[in-house]
Amino acid sequence: MENNKKIYKYFCDTFLYDAQKNHESAINKFFKKDAIINIVEPINEIKGSEELIKKFFLPMLYAFPDFYRRTDILFGGIINEEEWVTGSGHYVGTFAKDWMGIPANNKLTYLRYGEFHRMQNGQAVETYLFFDLIDLLRQIGKWPLLTKSLGDENFIPGPITSDGIILEAQNSEETKTSLVMVEEMLRNLHTKEQYWRKYWHPNMMWYGPSGYGSYIGVDGFARFQLPYESVFDPYRKSSTTMTCEKGSKLDLAVKGHFARFAEGNFVASGGWPSHGGHLCKEWLGIEAKGQQFTCRISDWWRRERNKLVENWVFVDLVDMLKQLDYDVFKAVDIEILFEDN
């Protein structure tokens, strides 16, 4: 495990300043030749390191020539005998040229990322890459949603404690406490009595994807979470609860989480997609007509003693809205283009 983290940290750090020079060899080294790489909409699936370079990194590095990678969270864990590493932070660079048809603003721009890599023999074989493209559109002055954000829209900072990069082995009791706390909290979401509240520090921070926004305080979070919980009927939520029929289209579409693990005070979880339902109430300005949709999602939590205090969240809202017949890019007159650069 410590070795995987070292390999991953090394990969991250080659992008620290000199991404142009080093990215190719770093990617070829880190990803297995035939790794399955899942990336948020509109990219979706990429096969292997070579395609990742050609289809993803080269166009990105062309658009952001001075790319600089900042890691805020990095740790690893084992679930079902699978070894995983995860990371979150931002790419920062001058958005100098259009990227996938998204128009450049020629200013310093932050692109928030979250990643999960399943490791085998020191290489990534299965990967999930989250980018907050709505946050990018926000920064270039093209808000693409029908509604204003429900929370604060801003750069999302790393852990308050600056201790999210975990390279040393952690106390296994602490790790277990963190994981159990998150799993119990998750089980108590969507309960009438809101039992999930007691797992959170009253002054917790919830850093949501652009569109949902960020909140301070458990009441602030509840103002997002409670309406959100009420838009699905029938639903299937991760591996815990469902009101849809077993074996139904929705049940089969939702896969629950691909990984969930803790290390020290931190916990990570991701699902591709993790939950879904039929839209039964207006959400993000979309009229409810019982449309089926699923959500690709990832989370990182930080625990302090007996409470969860910070939670970083990605939801692939572009993918979710596409299923609800709303094209985020078209809404701001962007036609997505994939060009070889």
Partner 1 sequence: MILENKQLYKSYLREFSYPNETNYKNAVRNFFSEEASINVVHPINKIQGSQGYIDKVLKPMMKAFEGLYRSDYIVIGGNYEGNDWITSTGYFAGKMINDWLGMRANNRLVYIRFGEFHRMQNNKCVESYIFYDLPELMMELGIWPLSPSPGYSGHIPGPATHDGLVYGESDPIESSKTLTIVEKMLSKLNTPNKEWYSYWHENMLWYGPAGFGSYIGIKNFENFQVPFESCFQGWTVELSDNNTIIKDFIRVADGNYATNGGWLSVNGKHVKRFLDQEPTNKDVSMRVCDWWRREGNLLVENWVFVDVPDLLLQIDYDLFAKLK
Rounded CA-CA distance 150/139 in Å is: 17
Contacts of 34 (CB under 8 A, 6+ apart): 47, 48, 125
2-14 and 19-30 helices, crossing angle to 10°: 150
- Applying CB under 8 A, the span of 2-10, 196-204, 247-255, 291-299 interacting with partner 1 comes to 196-204
Position 165 contacts partner 1 (CB under 8 A): yes
Strand pairing category for 292-304 and 307-315: antiparallel
- Applying CB under 8 A, the span of 44-52, 197-205, 313-321, 325-333 interacting with partner 1 comes to 197-205
Position 76 contacts partner 1 (CB under 8 A): no
Q: Which of 292, 288, 207 is nearest to 245 (CA)?
A: 292
Query: In terms of CB distance, is 41 or 310 closer to partner 1?
Result: 310
Residue 310: how many CB atoms within 10 A of its CB? 23
Instruction: Looking at residues 41 to 70 of the shown chain, list those that interact with partner 1 (rule: CB under 8 A).
Output: 66, 68, 70
Q: Which residue has the tokens 């509604």?
A: 147
Q: Are 223 and 216 in contact (CB under 8 A)?
A: no
Rounded CA-CA distance 99/224 in Å is: 32
Position 107 contacts partner 1 (CB under 8 A): yes
Position 110 contacts partner 1 (CB under 8 A): yes
Q: How many CA atoms lie within 13 A of 245 on its CB side?
A: 3
Least distance in angstroms from the C-beta of 160 to partner 1: 4
Position 87 contacts partner 1 (CB under 8 A): no
Position 162 contacts partner 1 (CB under 8 A): yes
Least distance in angstroms from the C-beta of 89 to partner 1: 9
Query: In terms of CB distance, is 16 or 337 closer to partner 1?
Result: 16
Binding-residue total with partner 1 (CB under 8 A): 39
Position 152 contacts partner 1 (CB under 8 A): yes
Q: What is the rounded radius of gyration, in angstroms, for the C-alpha atoms of the chain?
A: 19
- Selected from 3, 154, 241, 306, the binder of partner 1 by CB under 8 A is 154
Rounded CA-CA distance 288/117 in Å is: 35
Residues that bind partner 1 (CB under 8 A): 16-18, 66, 68, 70-72, 90, 92-94, 107-110, 139, 151-152, 154-155, 157-158, 160-165, 201-203, 205, 213-217, 220
